[in-house]
Amino acid sequence: MTTLNNLRENDIYYTPKYIWEDILNYLDPTKIYLDPFYGDGSSINNLNELGLNCIGNNIDYFEALRHLDYDIILTNSPFSKNILIEFLYNLSSLDKPFIIILPITKIFSKYFKTSFINYKDIQLIIPNKRMSFIDPNSSNKSNPSFVCCYVCYKMDLPADILFL
């Protein structure tokens, strides 16, 4: 079960509000969004403050994906390979629209390609600057050494690659 209790320390980073604000004009406020990686609930609170209907629960992400009622998955999942591989395979099998934050190099990984073999409905949103995340064990934002992007599936964006 992937909950906050069994994540490794380097998997626990939270998403600042500005990261969601950057893509707000691509999000339909009439839809129900699920963040299956609840964390401390701050991402869900931020999304709701931005006018979206975002739900989540402090349960296993797999249970959230399978049992909660939602239209679109919107999350910043842990980046560790052991969690990410399982998560991507689950996303692929659900075949529901999503926007997830990933290090851009992950789209070239074997497990990403295997999950989304045809890439037909994958779209990317490239931010205008490197994303920073919140480290709950520090008062500073964490600036990772890698660049992240928004990986989108079945979102019907105006182009397959968008630059913010």
Check if CATH label 3.40.50 holds for domain 4-163: yes
pTM for the structure as a whole = 0.87
Among 158, 161, 43, which residue's Cα sits nearest to residue 104? 161
Model confidence pLDDT, tens digit, residues 80-137: 888 889 999 888 889 899 999 999 999 888 988 888 876 678 999 999 999 988 877 7
Q: Which tens digit of pLDDT belongs to each residue from 45-79? A: 999 999 999 999 888 888 999 999 999 999 998 88
Taken in order 144, 146, 147, 149, the sign of the CA dihedral is negative
